[in-house]
Structure 1
Amino acid sequence: MRPHTSFFNTADLDAFDARTAALEDPRPHPTEPQLVQLGRALMTEVLDVVLGGGLEDHVAVICETLIGGLHAGVQRLERDADREREALARLLHDFDGSEVADVDLQEVKARADALDVAMCAIEHVRDAAAEIYAQATGEVWSPWRGVVRASVQSAAQVDAQAALRAVEQRRRSAADPGEHVVAFRASPRSDAPEDARRIFDALNWARAEWPDMSLALTDAKGGERLAKRWAQQKGVRVVLAKPDFARFGRAAPFRANDQMLALSPVCVLVLPESLGRAAEAGAPPFGPAMNLADEARRRGMRCVRITART
């Protein structure tokens, strides 16, 4: 059990431990390394059971359901914390200096702080589980809708619709992609080693040009998954414009392009074909990537086509 805050120097603690100590709760809290280990152990156990057996074909659904459930818990705690903060704002507005009002104020603040700590704890577990999932399968988990805040282990991710609303409102919030958005589209076949090297070269160049960049993509397989993995490792915010096939059918990939272009990207990067698959030399370029490039040039936006080393 941790000592009471009054006798404890939080300067020697990491950020999470300092927050839990500040709650002055006599009950012990897990440490950040313990939470990270929990997330890794949970996902490792799931993968050990699923991989190599009859359920292997469904590993993505099984693992992403587990991670998504943890993310849903984060969202629920966040909503509860927001309600407590709204109550705190009302109490501050009506504060009359009485002892009763002061006690009410402290209790509401304590509940809000405790909810924030619980939310942060689940985020550590979620991000650690997602990291093991990515290492084992090469897939990068992301929620279908909503926001994932940045952490030590993963990039922030926002839904493209939420990002567009934030741009329109010009409000700095978790969903605001910032002023420097780099849009990227690639062929689903561009997953060869040479593709990865050139994609990373292009993204590293873009980050050097715009250090606070956000990366907009559709989360398609192949090159875009490689780019998403790069963003996770570099801590670059990702704006997901996922095609809505249920609503738009075959036009969905092109509607996703429109969403990315509506973010007014400072640069558009495209890789319409694999650079490392000689057998596919005669394959046509990926249509949605070519469409994004054409639309970007038509609108006067900077567009760079990723090519092989010369």
Structure 2
Amino acid sequence: MTFSLHAFSASDTRFDVQAAALEDIRPHPTEDALVQLGHVLMTELIDLIGDTALEDVQTILCESLIGAFHSAAGRIERDGDRARDRMRLLERDFDGSELADTELQEATRVTRAADVAQAAAELVRDAAAEVYTTQTGEVWTAWRGSRRGTRMTAAQLEAKAAIRAVERRRRGEADPGGPVVAFRAAPFADSAEDAQRIFDALNWAKSEWPDMALATTGAKGAERIAIRWAQQKSVTLVLARADFDRHGKAAPFRANDDLLALEPTCCLTLAQSLELGRAERSHPFGPALNLAQQATARGVRHVAILAKAA
């Protein structure tokens, strides 16, 4: 399959305009072409390994493909940051000479080109992740570092970085953003009824706090459903991952400590599946109950997600 390239036109997207502004004699792929590439790569991979012996490792293969473009975007970003630092240094020491002007122009060109290349990698990554979610129901999240959102996806922050921002805000420094809504739920609460009520609860939260960020541990099941909602609504994600290597069995509860360190405005919990059959076969999820208990003890608003009234 081939992907079309074309020059700048009035109908192009923001990415296309940014790419055309580089005035590189070589054309850039259009945003539509990059998105199509991401869709095709993931679709081909899933179609190829589905119903084969490799289906058992489908999640690993798919998430590795998405992660490759995420890693590429990160490497390009670091190259761009180095060029940006050089550009600032050249601007500071600029003496008006022709050599200094040439060096500054080149550093500026490299910086702008890196920004476009990073955005291109993120477009492919997010498009592949979108197909992965659509076809498998799973949600990809970056397991290292943060992820800047492109198109209609959500930005993603690591909890430790967000906690540092909260501490800076407490000291009177820059406000990191809107209110945080924490969400903790049972991994087995992933039925259609659970998903509907999770979306209802999160939609309610967003109506209460339109600029909210969603904080969760990123665990499978119900919390992945919440992440999917955030991606659809372009809501910033803050991931407080459970570190089992460091904390062992206590990891899910230590993750709750990170969630509460974010000073959430509200905590939403779903400790048990709302589907009657599942609820009868399972016990309430301890970490969700723990977060509810801690939130109440600290005076943080807590809302338990319940079945829809008949």
Normalising by the smaller structure, the TM-score range is over 0.9
CA distance in 2, matches of 1:302, 1:129: 37
Q: Measure the CA separation in 2 of the matches of 1:26 and 1:70.
A: 25
Tell me the residue number matched to 2:54.
55
Aligned counterpart, 2:125? 126
Structure 1 residues 115 and 153: CA distance shift in structure 2, 3 A: same
Hey, what's the Cα distance between the residues in 1 that align with 2:10 and 2:6? 15
Aligned residues: 302
Partner of 2:142: 143
Report whether the alignment pairs 1:23 with 2:19: no
1:188 paired with 2:168, answer: no
Q: Measure, in 1, the Cα distance between the counterparts of 2:174 and 2:80.
A: 20
Partner of residue 73, structure 2: 74
Partner of 2:88: 89
Q: Is the 8 A contact 1:270 1:293 kept in 2?
A: yes
CA contact (8 A) 1:192 1:277 kept: no
Using the TM superposition, give the Cα deviation of residue 142 of structure 1 relative to its aligned residue in structure 2, in angstroms. 0.7
- The separation in 2 between residues aligned to 1:269 and 1:130, in whole angstroms, is 26
| Distance in 2 separating the partners of 1:19 and 1:208 | 33
* In structure 1, C-alpha distance between the alignment counterparts of 2:98 and 2:278, rounded to whole Å: 78
Identity %, equivalent residues: 56
CA RMSD of aligned residues (A): 1.6
Relative to structure 1, the CA distance from residue 222 to residue 98 in structure 2 (aligned partners, 3 Å threshold; closer, same or farther) is same
1:286 positional shift: 0.6
What do residues 81-126 of structure 1 show as CA deviations (whole Å, max 9, x unaligned)?
Answer: 0000000110111111222211111110001111111111111101
Query: How far off is 1:14 after superposition?
Result: 1.4
Unaligned runs of 5+ in 1: none
Amino acid paired to 2:140: W
Residue in structure 1 matched with residue 308 of structure 2 by the alignment:
309
- Retained in 2: the 8 A contact 1:127–1:153? no
1:151 CA displacement: 1.4
Residues 128 and 153, structure 1, Cα contact 8 Å, conserved in 2: no
CA contact (8 A) 1:182 1:269 kept: yes
TM-score by length of 1: 0.94
Alpha-carbon deviation of 1:154?
1.3
Corresponding residue number in structure 1 for 2:205: 206
| Aligned mates of 1:225, 1:80 — CA distance in 2 | 32
Would the aligned equivalents of 1:131 and 1:153 in 2 still touch at CA under 8 Å? no
Residue 2 of structure 1 deviates from its aligned partner by 5.3
In the alignment, is residue 165 of structure 1 matched against residue 164 of structure 2? yes
The CA deviation at 1:169 is 2.7
1:289 is matched with which residue? 288
Shift of 1:282: 6.0
Residue deviations 1:164-202 (CA, integer Å, cap 9, x gap): 1222234669xx4x2300000111111111111111111
Q: Distance in 2 between matches of 1:102 and 1:146?
A: 36
2:184–2:217 CA contact under 8 A, matched in 1: yes
1:251 alignment partner AA: A
1:153 — aligned with what?
152
TM-score (normalizing by structure 2) = 0.94
Q: Deviations over 1:244-274 (max 9, x none)?
A: 0011000000000000000000000001001
Q: Which amino acid aligns with 1:158?
A: L
Q: Which amino acid aligns with 1:67?
A: I
Amino acid in the other structure paired with 2:184: R
Does the 8 A contact of 2:132 with 2:138 survive in 1?
Answer: yes
Structure 2: unaligned runs, 5 residues or longer: none
